Structure 1
Amino acid sequence: MPVARVYSPEPRFFDLGEDYGDAVRAAEFPQALLRFRNDRAAAEVGLETLTGPEWIDHFGRFAPLPGQPGPVAMRYHGHQFRTYNPDLGDGRGFLAAQMRDAGGRLVDLGTKGSGRTPWSRGADGRLTLKGGVREVLAAEMLQRLGVPTSRALSLIETGEALERGDEPSPTRSAVLVRLSHSHIRFGTFQRAAYLGRKDQLEILLEHARSLYHPHVAPGDAAGFLAEVVDASARLAARWIAAGFVHGVLNTDNLNVTGESFDYGPWRFLPHYEPGFTAAYFDQFGLYAFARQPEAVFWALTQLGGALKPIDDADALTSALNGFGPAYIRHLRAAFLERLGVLSLGEAADQRLLDAALALLREGGAALRWEPLFHDWFAGFASSARALSGPRAKLYQGETFDAFRFALFEHEPDRPERLEASRFARAEPEELLIDEVEAIWAAIDSGDDWAPFEAKIARIRAD
């Protein structure tokens, strides 16, 4: 066996049958060059013991892992920029395997760039190497910042020249494998509702409820929706606290576990800018930084609408109405965590949240998003460091005084964490677009992977 003893296959989605997915085969690629192997994530599911050739065989050629039936392209619909599209589905990826992780969660191995499927709609089913590199970086950084996220497990360069309209072409190709808690999207439910298949909705609800929200009673679609609402509110709050812009919050890019995945035109904020957009094609700022909670809630209302055939509309509406309070609660918690302090109660926590946002707003381009959390981690314990650091001149005035007062009200949470090596540095680890482009330029022009590998190491460092 090429897998560790803890490997626990459990291909549950495959049991749903052809109403929910299509058996497919991966493309045959000209080459398979391993560019990224995430043994940290692999160890959680018993795959870290794979040899180099075995890794390539399973994640470059997609020979089924033990106990796995072979890949399936998942069927779903979705709203794309609020326009309904019934012609979606896994068009350049598939569900390759499911297994239990070390914590007992059911997790998926999903692909990106693995070839054409019945849902490719004329596209080539491929992924650019640059897109793969960007997804690895995004997932690593988000994990560090405490955002529920899929992880990039593997990135293999596949030796094809791809033509793309949004980057210089021809460009290099790759296939990515991600480890995710679920690939069941809001759009998976939308498809069943669109087809008028109440039976499919009920089967899908029971499948997702039992696996991801098992404490909800069987058949309780409103209870299930309430759990998805809470998880999604937490995700949106964590994006905001991380200064992250996903870029494309269509209903096929949001899942029932509230885990961030499928990173395309993402960006991290350089500084506080509510209207900052990540996607060049988001011309009206629908998915801008500060509109992400609104976008997630809108998508949740579409999920609620899809569930109407199998539950009471008032109960579903009540579940949806929980989003606002949950989002604010999770946003307060996320900012406290990022600042390394303990809760002092709702009023004091809200005061700190408001004061931090006010300081970031007033600081403008001079005060980047990430350095504030780096400078003031653990509150009072960081005073000397912050007030003697490179941003000391920014930490003055009435707005700063209000922030400092609100922060110092809160006790530090495990202040010994300030002993980590990253706090000895004046600047935090960031992932702004100029650095991402420089990392790619080194790969593209000279096949130099050293900056990419060094960045991963720095992100993971204490």
Structure 2
Amino acid sequence: MPLTLDHSYARDLQGLYVPWQGQDWPDPQILLRNDALARTLGLDPDTLDAGLLTGHALPGSARPLAMAYAGHQFGGFSPQLGDGRAILLGEVLDETGARWDIHLKGSGRTPFARGGDGRAVLGPVLREYLISESMAALGVPTTRALAACTTGDRVLRQNGLEPGAVLARVAASHLRVGTFQFFAARGDAQKLRLLADYAIARHDPDLTDTPDCYVQFLHRVAARQAQTVAQWMGLGFVHGVMNTDNTTISGETIDYGPCAFMDRYDPATVFSSIDHQGRYAYGNQPAIIFWNLARLAEALLPLIDADEDRAIARATEVIAQAQDSYRAAWLGVFARKLGLAAPDAALIDGMHQLWLGQGVDFTGFFRALPDALRGDEHALRALFDDAEGLDPWLASYRAAADADTPDRVAAANPLYIPRNHLVEAALNAATDGDMGPFMALLARVQAPFTPIDGAEDYAHPAPRDAPELVTFCGT
């Protein structure tokens, strides 16, 4: 049966979007389609053709629109951003009644394009497909890739003309901190309340019509984001562009542009070609998420309390509590990675100190721990430039471990992540028409904990003398 879309965003949030059609493409073709994801959403994959997945030819139930939002980008506020090269087709309800957005990225210029060409190219589309599916397999809240399509045109980017592409992605919603900033910046308290009520109904329905629902909503969003960023930190993931318009209300990771997984531990790690000051470096991500949440709190102040001083005090308390919950979540993440029954702050903090300046492969460290606990320390010691400082920490770790710790460590830590050098090689090959390396890497990261014979190269970082890689936002 044909795809049927619902449109709660369009119905309930007038003034927060522009109705808009995707661009006509010369030859839209499906390159990858996530049929397993489609089925979990209750969709028939055969109804998802290239016309729909690129915005080229839509079913009658579609009411495509470009969403408006504001945002702080690298600390500077823009009162109007929005979907400059994307459209929301609508929403589907899965068999549990959960609502999911279907959103197309790279579908052409919209009124929010701000001088951009509205297009996407194959490399960044495949990067988002690969890394979002990796994050899903790793249990991190994330948007999901439904399809990657080529458009049949060529798009000018920093490396010359590249194949045009569109990413179809799915999210619990595309509401962002910047969505709330849009109405707050305009002083429109009525529409701000309308937006907040919509967000609560969609993500926290138990708060609907309850006392203090807006401050409790802020608390929920902060708790979700604290947990998500703690999970990023536990994987060595660097988002690269943590603007407020890329910080979701749902807690999902969104907009995989200049992102990458850190190989060798360094809190200053940056991959983005435009983050010259390291604002969004690996080690800065916790502070940035609370900065972003403080901007959400500012937007919600008129709803939290009519008395501004009381509203500020209550919002400040929520952010402070979220910082405490982040610390607890972060300790919990690393306790699980170490196979501990309970967090040991001294051991976990000491581990991070131990890594500094040692060139330790972040993912490889945890994969080497089970053998070290069983008495074979060779692989663990080989990760360090100077392993002398390892001994006292390892002694403390052994004292905290039990007989089942090695098995818990192996179960909690991925063997395969999207290693930067493998990602770049796969994307370059795909751009040249060879999808083989990409498909092999995708298969590995979709089963990150399962060793595969002959896949040893997927578990190792790039050689030390390999050039450092930078990533681009794709525009």
> Alpha-carbon deviations, 1:164-216, whole Å to 9, x = none?
2xx21111110001111220010110011111110011111111011102232
TM-aligned CA deviation for residue 458 of structure 1 = 1.1
Q: How many angstroms apart in 2 are the aligned matches of 1:417 and 1:329?
A: 19
1:360 is matched with 355
Q: How many angstroms apart in 1 are the aligned matches of 2:64 and 2:383?
A: 56
SS state of the match for residue 59, structure 1? Answer: helix
1:387 is matched with 377
Q: Which moved more, 1:383-392 or 1:113-122?
A: 383-392
Q: How many angstroms apart in 1 are the aligned matches of 2:291 and 2:390?
A: 33
CA 1:337–1:144 in structure 2 vs 1: closer, same or farther (change >3 Å)? Answer: farther
Sequence identity (%)? 31
CA 1:63–1:337 in structure 2 vs 1: closer, same or farther (change >3 Å)? Answer: farther
For 1:262, which of 250, 255, 258 is the aligned residue? 255
1:316 is matched with 315
The answer as to whether partners of 1:76 and 1:187 remain within 8 angstroms in 2 is yes
Structure 2, unaligned runs of 5 or more:
306-310, 451-475
1:441 is matched with 428
The answer as to whether partners of 1:147 and 1:238 remain within 8 angstroms in 2 is yes
Q: Is residue 13 from structure 1 mapped to residue 5 from structure 2 by the alignment?
A: no
2:461 is matched with none
> Alpha-carbon deviations, 1:365-386, whole Å to 9, x = none?
2x2111112222xx5x763486
1:122 is matched with 115
TM-aligned CA deviation for residue 297 of structure 1 = 0.8
Q: Which runs of 4+ in 1 moved over 6 A?
A: none
The answer as to whether partners of 1:359 and 1:400 remain within 8 angstroms in 2 is no
Quick one: which amino acid aligns to residue 353 of structure 2? A
SS state of the match for residue 325, structure 2? Answer: helix
Q: How many angstroms apart in 2 are the aligned matches of 1:50 and 1:140?
A: 18
Quick one: which amino acid aligns to residue 43 of structure 1? R
The answer as to whether partners of 1:111 and 1:175 remain within 8 angstroms in 2 is yes
For 1:343, which of 333, 341, 344 is the aligned residue? 341
The answer as to whether partners of 1:149 and 1:260 remain within 8 angstroms in 2 is yes
TM-aligned CA deviation for residue 398 of structure 1 = 4.1
The answer as to whether partners of 2:373 and 2:398 remain within 8 angstroms in 1 is no
Q: Is residue 306 from structure 1 mapped to residue 299 from structure 2 by the alignment?
A: yes
Q: How many angstroms apart in 2 are the aligned matches of 1:60 and 1:11?
A: 19
Structure 1, unaligned runs of 5 or more:
none
SS state of the match for residue 29, structure 1? Answer: coil
TM-aligned CA deviation for residue 406 of structure 1 = 2.9
Aligned runs of 1:49-198 on 2, under 5 Å? 49-51=44-46, 54-61=48-55, 63-64=57-58, 68-102=61-95, 104-164=97-157, 167-198=158-189
SS state of the match for residue 45, structure 2? Answer: coil
**Number of aligned residues:** 438
Q: How many angstroms apart in 1 are the aligned matches of 2:364 and 2:88?
A: 38
Q: How many angstroms apart in 2 are the aligned matches of 1:437 and 1:259?
A: 25
Q: How many angstroms apart in 2 are the aligned matches of 1:31 and 1:276?
A: 40
1:238 is matched with 231
For 1:453, which of 423, 439, 444 is the aligned residue? 439
Q: How many angstroms apart in 2 are the aligned matches of 1:407 and 1:132?
A: 44
TM-aligned CA deviation for residue 277 of structure 1 = 1.1
1:199 is matched with 190
The answer as to whether partners of 1:343 and 1:349 remain within 8 angstroms in 2 is no
Q: Which moved more, 1:250-259 or 1:96-105?
A: 96-105
CA 1:416–1:284 in structure 2 vs 1: closer, same or farther (change >3 Å)? Answer: closer
SS state of the match for residue 344, structure 2? Answer: helix
CA 1:91–1:407 in structure 2 vs 1: closer, same or farther (change >3 Å)? Answer: farther
For 1:36, which of 32, 35, 42 is the aligned residue? 32
2:18 is matched with 22
Q: How many angstroms apart in 2 are the aligned matches of 1:33 and 1:10?
A: 25
TM-aligned CA deviation for residue 396 of structure 1 = 5.2
> Alpha-carbon deviations, 1:22-52, whole Å to 9, x = none?
11101111112222111222121022x322x
Q: How many angstroms apart in 2 are the aligned matches of 1:65 and 1:243?
A: 41
TM-aligned CA deviation for residue 322 of structure 1 = 1.4
The answer as to whether partners of 1:162 and 1:171 remain within 8 angstroms in 2 is yes
**RMSD of the alignment, in Å?**
2.6
TM-aligned CA deviation for residue 444 of structure 1 = 2.6
Quick one: which amino acid aligns to residue 341 of structure 2? S
Superposition TM-score, scaled by structure 2 size: 0.85
TM-aligned CA deviation for residue 265 of structure 1 = 0.7
Aligned runs of 1:247-286 on 2, under 5 Å? 247-286=240-279
CA 1:39–1:333 in structure 2 vs 1: closer, same or farther (change >3 Å)? Answer: farther
Q: Which moved more, 1:56-65 or 1:93-102?
A: 56-65
CA 1:309–1:432 in structure 2 vs 1: closer, same or farther (change >3 Å)? Answer: same
Quick one: which amino acid aligns to residue 27 of structure 2? Q
The answer as to whether partners of 1:271 and 1:360 remain within 8 angstroms in 2 is no
Quick one: which amino acid aligns to residue 53 of structure 2? F
Superposition TM-score, scaled by structure 1 size: 0.87
Q: Which moved more, 1:383-392 or 1:127-136?
A: 383-392
Q: Which has the higher contact order (CA 8 A, sep 6+)?
A: 2
Q: How many angstroms apart in 1 are the aligned matches of 2:233 and 2:34?
A: 26
Q: How many angstroms apart in 2 are the aligned matches of 1:141 and 1:79?
A: 28
Q: How many angstroms apart in 1 are the aligned matches of 2:35 and 2:99?
A: 18
TM-aligned CA deviation for residue 112 of structure 1 = 0.7
TM-aligned CA deviation for residue 88 of structure 1 = 0.5
For 2:407, which of 382, 403, 415 is the aligned residue? 415
